[in-house]
Amino acid sequence: MNPTQDKALRIGWIGTGVMGLSMCGHLMAAGHPATVHNRTRAKAQPLLDRGAAWADSPKQVAQASDIVFSIVGFPDDVRRVYLDADGVLAGLKPGAIAVDMTTTSPSLAVEIFAAARNNGQHTLDAPVSGGDVGAKNAALSIMVGGEAAVFAQVRPLFERMGRIILHQGAAGAGQHTKMCNQIVIAGSMIGVCESLLYATRAGLNPQVLLGSISKGAAGCWSLENLAPRILKGDFAPGFMIDHFIKDMGIALEESRRMGLKLPGLELMHGLYSQAAKDGHGRDGTQALFLALQKLSA
């Protein structure tokens, strides 16, 4: 199978939430017929309206597809989607490829890779960064683990969804890279939120503040994309706090396994966990601002 030679390559897509809806849409726009599955069918309706076919299970998606993509919620969801009796590997043809773009544990990515290899199938772990904006604009950073030859086959499809596409190494390496990404984001988010709280208390104009600091040494994606949402009172999820807590938990677990102590990440995990307890678990990560604001009330 070579996606660069087969423009009618049949894709399967599992998980049509905030990210998956746009990502699958880009592949459909490039001319690839799609079969989709989501736990809640209504969330897939925009793709069905564009001509995608519905499948009742991940296994049926795989049976109808040349290559399957997934982006779901939590490691348990990934395990179910791939390894259950009605999962992807039960329906994937020998030699076919499945690509999990969920942020999940590196060890699970390795387990799925090994199970697929035993069946003569191929898998990649390919988590992404860029949030809902990156998904909508096909501007994601895609971090890929798995065999280099398989990565090369899938790369033309990745290029429909992202701008930065790098092969990080063997199975699980994509997930380890995403953990590094999330550690950086955790640190930058507390800086963004505390900076805006400080500015407000000091009587500064936050919009003018952003004009000064967003293009200097403090500049970062969160400052550019999430700080303006905070100032508008927009805490809708591009990436939900519940999912970020899950990611930080995976990173902390992997760190302990490797004998690392990451006190900054532990602090952020605790702050975000409190934000979830305050009722912000399904808000965007920028809702950390509300939790910190409460501490200063």
pLDDT tens profile 75-88: 999 999 999 999 99
**Phi and psi based region of residue 57 (left: phi greater than 0; alpha: psi -120 to 50; beta: remaining):** beta
What number of other Cβ atoms are within 10 A of residue 261's Cβ? Answer: 9
**Cβ partners under 8 Å of residue 255, min gap 6:** 261, 262, 265
Dihedral angle over CA of 89, 94, 97, 98, nearest 10: 0
Residues 105-116 have a mean pLDDT of 97
Check residue 7 and give its pLDDT. Answer: 60
Active-site residue set: 178
pLDDT at 187: 93
Task: Quote the distance between the C-alpha of residue 165 and its chain's center.
Answer: 14
275 closest CA partner among 243, 233, 229, 232: 243
Domains annotated for the chain, with CATH where assigned, are 11-170 (3.40.50.720), 177-295 (1.10.1040.10)
pLDDT at 270 over 60: yes
Tokens, residue 161: 């969804």
* Structure confidence by residue, pLDDT tens digits, 192-229: 999 999 999 999 999 999 999 999 999 999 999 999 99
78 residue type, one letter: V
Mean pLDDT across 107-130: 97
What pTM, to 2 d.p., does this model score? 0.91
Chain segment 131-188, per-residue pLDDT in tens? 888 999 999 999 999 999 999 999 999 999 999 999 999 999 999 999 999 999 999 9
CB atoms within 10 A of CB 58: 28
User: What does DSSP assign to residue 259?
Assistant: T
